[in-house]
């Protein structure tokens, strides 16, 4: 399969890239690692007239982990995130998502911004980032806006990013004391396979051992976009964490999910796996919260 013809720009700065996008709008498409976009172009699902590569813009490659916040440039590779001790120490579930993504070859090219931009319901990075309450900065020639990931995905392959905008930063607050998170993905094979179900959970406890002050559970592969398990989250608030509570939350998460039957599994099987992964990620989040 050959790529269709396109013009190619390689700006050196964000403002240069924004100028190009302002001029060409929907005729142009941003490309980072290209592991998703070029596949779609070869399949003729997308045929932009112009590709604007942001891979060599230094300000989009930064990782800045301060005491209050993690700021990730969208062009940070999945491999760099998977291997980062700095990120793993406080945002372990983000590293778990990165480690689960594809093969070493894919992880070396694929970027975190590209994973969000591709908006796949089975993507490995959205659940953990959403569970930590992440937001993205979208920049265009005339200004910037900040969008929470909860409001970012519009459907498979569709996001809030307007044709003239570039995602220029991903921001994640540092978890407070007594907080923890977990991410688990289920696929038929351990790598290079689309997930059947994936779940990330995040818990904040009032103090050592509980009760639960804050809970966010994010499920993938259960609808057109990643989805919060809202009734499961409600079932946790104010309660003392224990295995029985996590099992009940898993059961509630099943009712929050609307998966479909497909060749990867039946809707009933996926719902059952939502229950299991919710329980397990909550247990992992609690274990981490006890240590923090
Ligand atoms: C063999 C193989 C295995 C894979 N396995 C997995 C897997 O296990 N899990 C998984 O989640 N994914 C997987 N993928 C999909 C893909 O690798 C990831 O989604 C990857 O993170 C995409 O990043 P990228 O930099 O290559 O994105 P690109 O292909 O460059 O871009 C993807 C989309 O995001 C947009 N975009 C990128 N960056 C920006 C930005 N800064 N601002 C605005 N828009 C932007 C692009 O315009 C495009 O629409 C796999 C792909 C392949 C080919």
If you measure from the C-alpha of residue 93 to the centroid of ligand 1, how many angstroms do you get, rounded to a whole number? Answer: 19
Run of H or E residues at 115: helix 112-118
Q: What is the pLDDT tens value at each position of the chain, 292 positions in all?
A: 789 899 999 999 999 999 999 999 999 999 999 999 999 999 999 999 999 999 999 999 999 999 999 999 999 999 999 999 999 999 999 999 999 999 999 999 999 999 999 999 999 999 999 999 999 999 999 999 999 999 999 999 999 999 999 999 999 999 999 999 999 999 876 666 689 999 999 999 999 888 999 999 999 999 999 999 999 999 999 999 999 999 999 999 999 999 999 988 999 999 999 999 999 999 999 999 999 8
Strands 28-31 and 50-53, by their bridges, are: parallel
Q: Is residue 117 a contact partner of residue 32, using CB atoms and an 8 Å limit?
A: yes
Which residues form the pocket of ligand 1, taking CB atoms under 6 Å from any ligand atom? Answer: 29-37, 39, 54, 74, 78, 101-102, 106, 109-111, 113-115, 117-118, 120, 123-124, 161, 166-167, 192
If you measure from the C-alpha of residue 182 to the centroid of ligand 1, how many angstroms do you get, rounded to a whole number? Answer: 22
Residue 288 to residues 182, 239, 283, Cα–Cα distance (Å): 8, 17, 9
The C-alpha atoms of residue 65 and residue 234 are separated, in whole angstroms, by 30
**Domains defined along the chain, listed by start:** 7-53 (3.30.43.10), 60-173 (3.30.465.10), 180-286 (3.30.390.50)
The C-alpha atoms of residue 2 and residue 7 are separated, in whole angstroms, by 15
Sign of CA dihedral 102, 199, 266, 43: negative
If you measure from the C-alpha of residue 167 to the centroid of ligand 1, how many angstroms do you get, rounded to a whole number? Answer: 13
Characterize 265-287 residue by residue with b for buried, 16 or more Cβ atoms within 10 angstroms of its Cβ, and e for exposed: beeeebbebbbbbbbbbbbbbbe
pTM higher than 0.85, yes or no?
A: yes
Closest ligand 1 atom to 60 CA = 41
Q: Which of 147, 162, 117, 164 is nearest to 20 (CA)?
A: 164
If you measure from the C-alpha of residue 16 to the centroid of ligand 1, how many angstroms do you get, rounded to a whole number? Answer: 22
């Amino acid at each position: 399969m050959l790529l269709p013809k396109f013009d190619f720009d390689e700006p050196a700065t964000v403002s240069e890239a924004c100028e190009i996008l302002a001029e060409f709008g929907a005729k142009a498409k941003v490309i980072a690692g290209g592991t998703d976009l070029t596949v779609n172009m070869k399949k003729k699902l997308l045929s932009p007239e112009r590709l604007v590569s942001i891979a060599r813009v230094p300000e989009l490659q930064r990782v800045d982990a301060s005491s209050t916040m993690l700021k990730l440039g969208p062009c940070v590779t999945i491999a760099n995130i998977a291997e980062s001790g700095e990120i793993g120490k406080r945002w372990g579930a983000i590293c778990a998502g990165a480690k689960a993504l594809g093969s070493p070859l894919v992880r070396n090219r694929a970027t975190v911004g590209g994973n969000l931009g591709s908006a796949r319901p089975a993507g490995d990075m959205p659940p953990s980032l959403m569970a930590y309450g992440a937001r993205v900065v979208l920049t265009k020639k005339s200004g910037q806006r900040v969008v929470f990931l909860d409001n970012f995905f519009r459907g498979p392959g569709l996001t809030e990013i307007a044709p003239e905008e570039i995602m220029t930063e991903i921001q994640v607050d540092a978890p407070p004391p007594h907080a923890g998170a977990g991410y688990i993905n289920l696929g038929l094979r351990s790598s290079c396979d689309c997930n059947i179900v994936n779940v990330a959970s995040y818990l904040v406890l009032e103090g050592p051992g509980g009760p639960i002050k804050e809970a966010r559970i994010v499920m993938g592969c259960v609808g057109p976009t990643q989805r919060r398990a809202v009734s499961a989250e409600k079932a946790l608030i104010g309660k003392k964490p224990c295995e029985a509570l996590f099992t009940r939350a898993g059961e509630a998460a099943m009712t929050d999910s609307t998966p479909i039957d497909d060749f990867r599994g039946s809707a009933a099987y996926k719902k059952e796996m939502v229950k299991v992964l919710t329980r397990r990620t909550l247990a992992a989040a609690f274990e981490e919260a006890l240590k923090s």
